[in-house]
Structure formats: C-alpha cells, structure tokens
A and B are shown apart, each in its own frame.
Chain A
Amino acid sequence: MRTFLTKRNIIILIVAIVIVAFAVVSLNTDGGPGIFTRALEGLSSPLKRAAGSVARTFESIFGYMYEYEDLVRENEELKREIQNYKLDYSDSTELAAENDRFRALFGFSARHADFRYADTAIIAWGASNWASSFTINKGYANSTEVAPIKVGDAVITETGTLIGRVTSVGRVDSTCVSVVDTTFSAAVKIGQLGATGLARGDFALMGDGKLRLSNIVGESAVVAGDSVFTSGMGGVYPEGLLIGTVIGVYSEESGIGVYAIVQPAAELLRATYAFVITDFYPAP
C-alpha cells in the first residue's frame, strides 16, 4: 500500500477522478451535446476553420492548375468559332453586294439577251496626266467565261453605262482606257430624234472628266440634256450602251458644224466594279 501511494500515483489518481467526474457531469440526458463535448468543440472549432481554409486554398490552386489548360483550350476553340463567324459574315456581305450588282445587271441584260459578260473589279487607275486608263483584275489566265476577255471589249457598269474598253490583256489583269481618254471613240446616237455622231476623248476635256461629240448628223436635234448611247455601227461596241449626257452644244472652230460636250454617266474614278462584254451580236 505504501509503495502504491507514492506522490506520482496519487496525482494520477486525482486526475482520473477529475476526468470521471467531468464525464459524469457532461452526460446530457436530453440528447444534446454535453458540457465537455461543447468545450472540446469550442477548442477545436478554430482549428477546424483554419484547416478548412487551408484545404480550400489548396483546392483552388489545384483546381486552377488542373482546369487552366481546359480553359485555355476552350478559349482557343471559342476564338476559332468567332473567327469563322466573322469570315462567314464577311463572305455573306460580299455575296450580298455581288448579288445586288448582278440584280442591277439583270435589268440591263434582260434587254440584251445576246450579251456575254465577265465580272471584274477595277484594281488601279493610271497616275498619268496624259491618259485616262485603269486596270481590271481579269486576264486570259483567270477569265473563265465562255468568251474570254479580248482587246476591244467594252467595259460597262451594272446599269449598262460604258466606262471604257480593253486595250491590252495580260495574264491575270487587263488594261483599259476610259471614255475620256484621247484614244477612245465610238459611234453614237443622240437623244430621241435620231441624231448621230462620234463620241471621242478630247485631251483638253480629259482633265475635267468630259468627252467631245463631233461629226454630228442631225445637229439641230441635239440639245443639252440629251442622252448619248452607242449606236452599234461598225460592230465595235454593242448598241444601246449609255455613255453620258450632252451638257452643251457649241460651234466648231472652223465655223462649219457644231460639237457637243458630254458628261460621262459613270463616276469614273469612283467605279470599283465593272462588267466586260465579251460577246454580243452586232447590230445589223
């Protein structure tokens, strides 16, 4: 007994009694947590919150690292989709504009069923002060129409307004002169009363974007405001292509006969799209 009741053993016995007493006191017969349990929960709660916070941090870091690649992949796919949608929209806009041009041409071509056309774009205007010329984007290699583009073909807008003629055909592009160039000339009909004449480029008028009407037959019938159309004589140009409008009739310098100044119907420098008449039936 004396050996059992040492100082250390007594302390242990007291601690055990205290723990048993706490256990008895912590028993809660109404089902809730006891005092001891609540005390332990109170001590452990901060630890649990701290541990939970650390766990969530690691979870988010891990998730960021693991899901980042998925997010990047998804972002790239979405960007590609957006790019495809943009291209489709651009194509549809161009197709709509092209459709409008062909619809306008349809109105003109309904009256000229014999015409064959090549759809082109004007890609450059010449920088010379001595000529009025432009380049179209069709040549002998990329002109896929039944009748390919050739020298002398008329170049018109979608409404049938003559803007020039082809002077040289390259591999993928062709050079044309406009109606105000000094090398341009065409037999024309003037107004509704059957006057005829020769429309040709005049160097003095070229800078103002106009052309001259000379060799007028039936000159008394020509007045300002008359429309000038190709007559089809000689088979160079089809009949019925609008060139422009007479803005003034003047006496020739020689005093014999008159000449007229014509304002082209097409805004030449602003023209961006054109059609080349590659084939037609000449007027009888």
Chain B
Amino acid sequence: MTLRNPKNRRNITANKSATRRAVRAVVFHVLFLIVVYLVQALVLPYLSLPATPLLLPLAAVGAAMGQGGTRGAAMGLIAGALCDISFLRPVAGFTLLLTVLCLVIGVLSDTVIARGLLSYLVLCLFTLVVCAAAQMFQLLVFVGVPPRALFAVAGRQTLMSLPFALVLYPISRVVYKTDKDS
C-alpha cells in the first residue's frame, strides 16, 4: 500500500481518527468510573440511608452495553477492582465477578439485546441481584448468618441502588453516543 494513492491516504487518516475516538471514549469511561467510585466510597456511606447503594456495577453495565464484549469486560475489571477497594477487601471477588458479567452483557448487547433504557434497567437489576448473592454467599455458608437477615439487606441494597440507574443511564448514553459516531 503506497501513500501516493489518495484512497490509501484517506484510509489511514480515517483509521487514525477512529483510533483517537476510541481512545477518547475509553478515557471518558475510566474517568466516569473513578467519579462513581468516589461517590460510592466517600459520599454515600456517610448519608443516613437504609443501605449504601452500589453504583459501580450500574456504571459497569452501562459501559458494557455501550462498548461491547471486550471493552465491556475491561470496564468491568476496573469497576470491580474499584468496588473491592471501596469495600476494603482484596482486589479479587468483585473484580472477577464484574469482569465476567460485563463480558456477557457486552456480548448480549452486540447480538440480541436492544440498547435502551428498559434493557439497561433489567440488566442493572440482574447485576445487582448477582452481586448481592455473591456478597451473601460467604456469610450464609461460612458464618451461618440467618437467610432472612441476609435477604433483608440484599433487598435494601438493591432497592436503594436501582434509582441511581436512572441517573447513570443518560451519562452512559452520552459516552455511548460519542463511541457510536466513531
């Protein structure tokens, strides 16, 4: 391929623009996840809420729906690591969980699931339920906490987190729109 050919020059320029736009979208998502982490870890726990909402999984779902399988898994990895850090736990449980979840959600968004508010809310609900189940597992099996108490906290956590999905959805859409134009 030579650069004397105008068609080749146009292709190279177009590829560079697409790469720049992709990098910009990834940077926006990472910054967005960091802001969400700061709100989840440094603001919400000190409010007198029935349960501290989980925002990072919701942001990760939005990123996965917009970025697809591979990039969605990368965003899930970052969101999961930030989740583990906010819980003062080793960076392992949520890191792995959100990576897998976002990979699956990203692939489904690319193939069968329509990208819209309803799909986003359903996927957020599913993610929150899975996260609560993962958090309950250790306490249920190894500590012997009664299931009723665990389900009560899981329910409060899910219900307190879902309204924030309505706030995070348009922000994710803005970033997704930027990515879609590339």
Contact = CB atoms under 8 A, between A and B. Distances in A.
Contact of A134 (B40, B88, B145, B150): B88
B75 to A, nearest CB: 20
A129 B157 contact: yes
Contact of A203 (B44, B139, B156): B139
Interface size class of B (residues with CB under 8 A): 20 to 34
Interface string B60-94: 00000000000000000000000000111100000
B145 A127 contact: no
B52 A204 contact: no
Interface in A193-215: 203-204, 207
B100 to A, nearest CB: 20
A207 B153 contact: yes
A175 B52 contact: no
A129 B46 contact: no
B88 A129 contact: no
A128 B135 contact: yes
A126 B88 contact: yes
Nearest to B40: A127
Contacts of A124: 41, 88
Contact of A269 (B46, B51, B136, B156): B46
Interface in B4-43: 40-41
Given A127-B40, A175-B88, A182 B143 contact: yes
A133 interface: yes
A135 interface: yes
Best-surrounded residue of B45, B88, B153 (most CB of chain A within 10 A)? B88
B92 to A, nearest CB: 13
Nearest to A133: B88
Contacts of B45: 125-127
B94 to A, nearest CB: 10
A204 B139 contact: no
A126 B41 CA distance: 7
Given A127-B52, A128-B52, A129-B52, A182 B139 contact: yes
Interface size class of A (residues with CB under 8 A): 10 to 19
Given A182-B145, A203-B150, A126 B87 contact: yes
B146 A128 contact: no
A129 B155 CA distance: 11
A130 interface: yes
A236 interface: no
A217 interface: no
B176 to A, nearest CB: 27
B33 to A, nearest CB: 15
Contacts of B51: 129
A207 B156 CA distance: 11
A233 interface: no
A249 interface: no
Given A124-B88, A134-B88, A182-B139, A129 B156 contact: yes
Interface in B123-182: 135-136, 139, 143, 145-146, 149-150, 153, 156-157
A131 interface: yes
A130 B135 contact: yes
B73 to A, nearest CB: 24
Contacts of B86: 126-128
A125 B88 CA distance: 8
Interface in A126-177: 126-131, 133-135, 175
B80 to A, nearest CB: 14
A127 B150 contact: no
Contacts of A269: 46
A127 B36 CA distance: 13
B161 to A, nearest CB: 10
A133 B45 CA distance: 12
Contact of A127 (B41, B143, B153): B41
21 contacts: A124-B41, A127-B41, A127-B44, A127-B52, A128-B52, A128-B86, A128-B88, A128-B89, A128-B135, A129-B51, A129-B156, A133-B88, A182-B143, A203-B139, A203-B145, A203-B146, A203-B150, A203-B153, A204-B146, A207-B153, A269-B46
The list of the 7 closest CB pairs from A to B, nearest first, reads A126-B88, A128-B87, A203-B145, A204-B149, A127-B86, A127-B45, A133-B88
